[in-house]
Amino acid sequence: MTTAVIIVAAGRGSRMGGEVAKQWQMLGGKPVLAHTLAAFDGLPVVLVIHPDDRARAEGLGVRLVEGGPSRDASVLAGLQALEGAGVTHVLIHDGARPLVSRGLIDRLVAALDSHAGAAPALPVTDALWRGDGRLVSGTQDRSGLYRAQTPQAFRFAPILAAHRAHKGSAADDVEVARAAGLDVAIVEGEETNLKLTFPGDFARAEAILRGQSMDVRLGNGYDVHAFCDGDHVWLCGVKVPHGRGLLGHSDADVGMHALTDAIYGALAMGDIGRHFPPSDPQWKGAASHIFLAHAIQLAGAQGYRLGNCDVTLVCERPKIGPHAGAMQAELARIMEVEVDRVSVKATTSERLGFTGREEGIAAIATATLVRT
């Protein structure tokens, strides 16, 4: 089976406005057609263009065919360009739909195993009215109605024959196929697969692209420090009175260490020991906010911001509840984020293990980094 793609981009898009046709306008820093072509990467493509756009299209690296005076004439030109090339299946797509997903493409091709054609559509869910442009003159039953999308997929030989036999215009290739007696399966479409028609559609497409380009990183951190002589412990940046201290090369802030390692982990940049080696005497007794600030600054330098973090302290004593709010606020201050992005909580190990025997404190932390 060989699948090829015809992208129809010969229209002028007068409803959109602008100095150039909508398929050549910029979206997310690239022409609309560049996004559309990227969706079909790896498949042979015929791009059907207006003769005036040839200079713009030459650098796209796909086969160019000049279209006709109507959409169906342009599709026929694309089909005829593929004739004799061994193509068995074809996807016909509007160039002004730049956000089609690979999953939808794959579902359409799979549907051709049992149908001559397949097309994506979404059921109509809004009430439908008839009107004269100013007043509502009636209603229309929406049962069984769908909003059609592209790409529309077909077995190649039947759709070529259908287009050659079709007389007059057609709204889309499904209409041509059905006029020739071909069965067309409905495949569930996607709300994000919008067609750029009016100026406001570009803002919607930009928002969808931003969502698709979001990079989310998750990191975990774990740390343990043993008790030693002392009269306080540092936990999440807060000095907590206690009958013992915590043993460590720095200030032994077990909660902040776990959180710092979680951020380094989300960045795939190791742990505190890699950036602040315990063999280096300059970090002896260092305040742990230095480590946390360094980790969050590294994240910012790579374009990430903290989505949220969660720190759990595991100990019998000291009791964390009375200090959790102050810990949350201090961590937020160090990382320069809103307090509601920081969680600090505690649990015990039910008197089991080294924390249950009050030999030390453990901490677990999770951090989410987001880049858009």
Region 346-358: mean pLDDT is 96
DSSP per-residue codes, 265-320: HHTT---HHHHS-TTSGGGTT--THHHHHHHHHHHHHTT-EEEEEEEEEE-SSS--
> Is residue 43 within 8 Å of residue 109, measured between CB atoms?
no
For residue 345, list its beta bridge partners: 312
The candidate with the shortest Cα–Cα distance to 261, out of 294, 234, 230, is: 294
CA distance 154 to 126: 29
CA distance 297 to 300: 5
CA distance 253 to 9: 61
Instruction: Quote the pLDDT of residue 177.
Output: 98
DSSP per-residue codes, 309-341: EEEEEE-SSS--GGGHHHHHHHHHHHHT--GGG
Give 215-371's CATH code, choosing from 3.10.129.10, 3.30.1330.50, 3.10.20.30, 3.90.730.10.
3.30.1330.50
Instruction: Quote the pLDDT of residue 11.
Output: 86
- In this structure, the strands spanning 63-66 and 245-246 are unpaired
- The 3-class secondary structure across 43-109, one letter per residue, is CCEEEEECHHHHHHHHHHCCEEEECCCCHHHHHHHHHHHHCCCCCCEEEEEECCCCCCCHHHHHHHH
- 251 CB burial (10 A radius; 0-12, 13-18, 19+): buried
| Start-to-end CA span in the chain (Å) | 38
Q: Which residues contact 27 (CB under 8 A, 6 or more apart)?
A: 35, 98, 196, 202, 205, 206, 209
> Is residue 250 within 8 Å of residue 289, measured between CB atoms?
no
Region 3-31: mean pLDDT is 85
Q: Which residues contact 125 (CB under 8 A, 6 or more apart)?
A: 142
Instruction: Quote the pLDDT of residue 13.
Output: 64
Instruction: Quote the pLDDT of residue 215.
Output: 86
Instruction: Provide the token pair at 141.
Output: 């039953």
CA distance 236 to 255: 5
Region 134-151: mean pLDDT is 95
pLDDT at 17 over 90: no
Give 3-212's CATH code, choosing from 1.20.1260.10, 3.40.605.10, 3.30.450.40, 3.90.550.10.
3.90.550.10
> Is residue 162 within 8 Å of residue 117, measured between CB atoms?
no
pTM given for the model: 0.62
Q: pLDDT tens for residues 221-267?
A: 999 999 999 999 999 999 999 999 999 988 999 999 999 999 999 99
The candidate with the shortest Cα–Cα distance to 177, out of 82, 72, 93, 83, is: 72
Q: How confident is the model at residue 372 (pLDDT cuts 50, 70, 90)?
A: low
Q: pLDDT tens for residues 63-115?
A: 999 999 999 999 999 999 999 999 999 999 999 999 999 999 999 999 999 99
CA distance 67 to 75: 8
Region 34-60: mean pLDDT is 94
Instruction: Quote the pLDDT of residue 1.
Output: 72
Q: How confident is the model at residue 59 (pLDDT cuts 50, 70, 90)?
A: confident
pLDDT more than 70, % of the chain:
98
Region 47-70: mean pLDDT is 93
Domain boundaries, the chain: 3-212, 215-371
Burial 215-242 (b: 16+ CB within 10 A, else e): eebebebbbbbebeeeeebbbbbbebeb
pLDDT at 133 over 90: no
pLDDT at 14 over 90: no
**Helical spans, DSSP H, in 112-218:** 156-165, 173-179, 199-212
